[in-house]
Chain A
């Protein structure tokens, strides 16, 4: 049996902060890239502000291809890229690269959906008073879609949290790694289920925060 308090202080808390670091940096970068992709998708869609079949299909196909990769394969498949960017393929910093590559297309799809839900008549109204496409996107569509985008981002954070556990299996560290190495591989059910319990609490906190923000912004 492991001494619970030393386990918590020496392993769970440092690994927890690694998990948070991975989740939030990957979410932040994914959100930035995802937003850009979502705007390009929405604008170039055939009913968009400036339809462009080629751009839309290029982005659409690329996103589908990246999203087809099982995450664990993606981590391995892009090791050379990860090394080129971070210098290593081990550790939580290295994990951010595959997490971002998986997260950005996911967020792009969620935000694209939110933007497409913006009332078509509202966009026509904006055009009718002479708003430019840039103003329509940034002053009308995005502000109107904010609550729905927040829901999407909350969903993405939880999904990325799940991915960090998989990244933990191949050397990223974090709570997922604790559950696998100290729990599962060590035949220590207390550690394994304890870590899972910790993750449950974390997901609850993220989801409640997301729901609260949604309610306030709506």
Chain B
């Protein structure tokens, strides 16, 4: 379990992280999203001590880096694997040697190392590339090697720093599927730093959105997407801008798809006897839910009734305005 309380960090008088509070449970897939420069990678590096922080506390299974010496920190890091955007493999070593490197550094026996490396290459489906050099591999394959290396010391946590940002969408999907498989089979907590919302939607249980070094929204992925906090809108940018028509009020309804409300629009029209024009609707699949978003334009005088009806149904909604 990773527990972070009131963590602060500044560098040369510039605040990088401020009032960070979050808890990541064992076996959870946790997303840290934000635009570049938001401090997400720094926060990730604080977890395994690659970066230090000024005040507050950060404990990984009750281990607080600030209270240990360099040698103890090295041992502690065996519990935390890490992968990077540009794979960080040794270009002059083979796939096998790259995966074996951490075990070699920790003085494992040749037979133990050999067994573990072959086992891991099977997990990441690269058995036939065992003697290839990284330059002969595709980006996705390189990241698989890096994942195998990160898992070689049997960590409890895997940190991913923009691990899919240099990959094409299809390869990204396969790496995410692999991370999910690793999370399930080995019960390893995965902390994912990314600026791609699609990554969060696909595999994360929980997410925190970072803006200017602060956590501006946090919670289960479906909750954050349903609530549509301003920071999420900032992150998604123009792509999510809604078309607002004149002649009435434009409202946006967000809901989790379920038997109860998959007919919400026709139910509302029938029960309230209202008309509306539809300007947009979409359903998106998340790890554990399907979320819907609908944009409607309704008559000014019926907005109160509609609002009450939606609230009673437990659906969140908001009036969009032209500003």
Chain A interface residues (CB < 8 Å from chain B):
119, 121-122, 124-132, 135, 139-140, 143-144, 146-147, 217-218
Knowing A121-B84, A128-B82, A130-B106, the reply to whether A143 touches B77 (Cβ < 8 A) is no
Nearest to A119 among chain B residues (CB) is: B88
Interfacial chain A residues near B102, Cβ < 8 Å? 129-131
Check if B117 is an interface residue, CB within 8 A of chain A: no
- Complex Cα spacing A119 to B82, Å: 16
Interfacial chain B residues near A139, Cβ < 8 Å? 101, 104-105
Interfacial chain B residues near A126, Cβ < 8 Å? 101, 105
**Docked-complex contact A129 and B77, CB < 8 angstroms:** yes
Contacting residues of chain B (13-50) with chain A, CB-CB under 8 angstroms: 45, 48, 50
Helix, strand, loop or mixed for chain A's interface?
helix
Give 1 or 0 for each of B80-91: 1 = CB within 8 Å of chain A CB: 111011101111
- Complex Cα spacing A144 to B89, Å: 10
**Docked-complex contact B88 and A217, CB < 8 angstroms:** no
Interfacial chain A residues near B106, Cβ < 8 Å? 130
Interfacial chain B residues near A129, Cβ < 8 Å? 77-78, 81-82, 101-102, 105, 149-150, 152-153
**Docked-complex contact B74 and A130, CB < 8 angstroms:** yes
User: How many Å from the CB of A118 to the closest CB on chain B?
Assistant: 10
Check if B75 is an interface residue, CB within 8 A of chain A: yes
Nearest to A124 among chain B residues (CB) is: B50
**Docked-complex contact B86 and A121, CB < 8 angstroms:** yes
Interfacial chain B residues near A122, Cβ < 8 Å? 88-90
- Complex Cα spacing A185 to B202, Å: 81
Check if B115 is an interface residue, CB within 8 A of chain A: no
With A122-B90, A130-B75, A140-B90 already in contact, 6 other A-B pairs whose C-beta atoms are closer than 8 Å: A119-B88, A122-B88, A126-B105, A127-B77, A129-B102, A139-B104
**Docked-complex contact B50 and A121, CB < 8 angstroms:** no
- Complex Cα spacing A163 to B159, Å: 52
**Docked-complex contact A131 and B90, CB < 8 angstroms:** no
Give 1 or 0 for each of B44-63: 1 = CB within 8 Å of chain A CB: 01001010000000000000
Check if B92 is an interface residue, CB within 8 A of chain A: yes
**Docked-complex contact A124 and B88, CB < 8 angstroms:** yes
Task: Give 9 nearest A-B pairs by CB, closest first.
Answer: A128-B82, A129-B102, A130-B77, A125-B88, A121-B88, A130-B74, A122-B88, A131-B105, A121-B84
